Amino acid sequence: MTTPNKSHGRKAIRPSFKPRELMTPTPELVGVWKAKILTLFPTAFPGVLGESLTGKALQEGLWQLETVDLREFGIGKHRNVDDTPAGGGAGMVLRADVLGNAIDKAMQDTTAARGGNWPLIYLTPRGRRMDQALMQDLARCDGVTLLCGRFEGVDERVLEHYNIQEVSLGDFVMTGGELAAQALIDATVRLIPGVLGNQASTEEESFSSGLLEHPQYTRPTEWQGRKIPDVLMSGHHGKVAQWRQDMSEEITQERRPDLWQEYEANRPAPKAKPKKK
């Protein structure tokens, strides 16, 4: 018999002198975006997701988080979840039977069981690299289930059987998928309406327009001999917007030629100016 999965998040938050836990089990909130995490380390969550705006949104019930402990589906009295690689080699591989039972349990009460939009993702270095377009797609889903790998990975048959999407945080190797899962959730949750409070924040930041974000400044107006650019202090909104656009293009072209090439290919042709009579 498995222990109940932990679900995180609240419907409301009220002033209190006593700190509240984000780990307290709460009722299922219908229609609220939810992340389910299959992991050997459920206590790693919510982690940084419980802080700042994502933590506040979790408390307010704008999104939900549930962890599923893979160890509860382990084999035998020692709850073994892994075994040696077929064909030999170093390390251990997460077993297909263990993962299959855990995935079935995690997905049975999701909208995926009713034909809904609820992807199942495995965090792995060999997957598609995370980008803003992926996060925007996930934010429009009903929720997401994330499988955090450990050791040498997972049995390939599980990925084939469940048609699991493979996603990577970047071209490097980590000890497990938990940090990558938190990064994916953070980047997705902030796109959910109401989480950031100011919708313009997500519309003007890096990647939203296909470009890197322009430089930002705030008080004091001069620091260590460096001044805020005059145009930003001019109060001329049109000139400020043009400066920001120019800087975004300059930075993207210099630092991310791959993004710049894609931006140039997709940028609509400038409108022809009407001829003077």
Residues 237, 199, 190: CA angle, nearest 5 degrees: 135
pLDDT for position 14: 47
DSSP 104: H
Most confident of the following: 6-10, 70-74, 207-211: 70-74
pLDDT for position 151: 87
The whole-number average pLDDT for the span 5-13 is: 57
Amino acid identity of residue 45, one-letter, is F
Q: Which domains does the chain have, with CATH numbers?
A: 6-189 (3.40.1280.10), 206-266 (1.10.1270.20)
* Residue 72: how many other CB atoms lie within 10 Å: 18
DSSP string covering 236-256: -HHHHHHHHHHHHHHHHHHH-
Query: Could you tell me if 91 and 151 are in contact, meaning their C-beta atoms sit under 8 angstroms apart?
Result: yes
- In whole angstroms, how far apart are CA 94 and each of 45, 123, 268? 21, 14, 48
Distance, CA of 237 to CA of 239 (rounded, Å):
6
**pLDDT beyond 60 at 22:** no
pLDDT for position 270: 72
The whole-number average pLDDT for the span 35-51 is: 98
Q: Which two tokens mark 240? A: 């400020």
Distance, CA of 74 to CA of 102 (rounded, Å):
9
Prediction pTM value? 0.84
Distance, CA of 246 to CA of 229 (rounded, Å):
13
| Structure confidence by residue, pLDDT tens digits, 143-198 | 999 999 998 999 999 999 999 999 999 999 999 999 999 999 999 999 999 999 86
**CA nearest to 32, candidates 108, 110, 102, 105:** 110
Tell me the pLDDT band of 273, cut-offs 50, 70 and 90.
low
pLDDT for position 272: 65
Lowest mean pLDDT among 10-19, 130-139, 172-181, 260-269: 10-19
What rounded mean pLDDT belongs to the chain? 89
pLDDT for position 209: 81
The whole-number average pLDDT for the span 247-271 is: 91
Residues 147, 84, 130: CA angle, nearest 5 degrees: 25
* Residue 128: how many other CB atoms lie within 10 Å: 12
**pLDDT beyond 60 at 7:** yes
**CA nearest to 65, candidates 187, 178, 185, 169:** 185
Rg for the chain, CA atoms, rounded: 23
pLDDT, greater one: 6 or 157: 157
* Helix-helix angle 178-189:52-59, to 10 degrees: 80
Lowest mean pLDDT among 28-32, 164-168, 246-250, 262-266: 28-32
Distance, CA of 70 to CA of 41 (rounded, Å):
8
Distance, CA of 120 to CA of 117 (rounded, Å):
10
Residues 82, 161, 100: CA angle, nearest 5 degrees: 40
| Structure confidence by residue, pLDDT tens digits, 101-131 | 999 999 999 999 899 999 999 999 999 999 9
**pLDDT beyond 80 at 275:** no
| Percentage of the residues of the chain whose pLDDT score is greater than 90 | 79
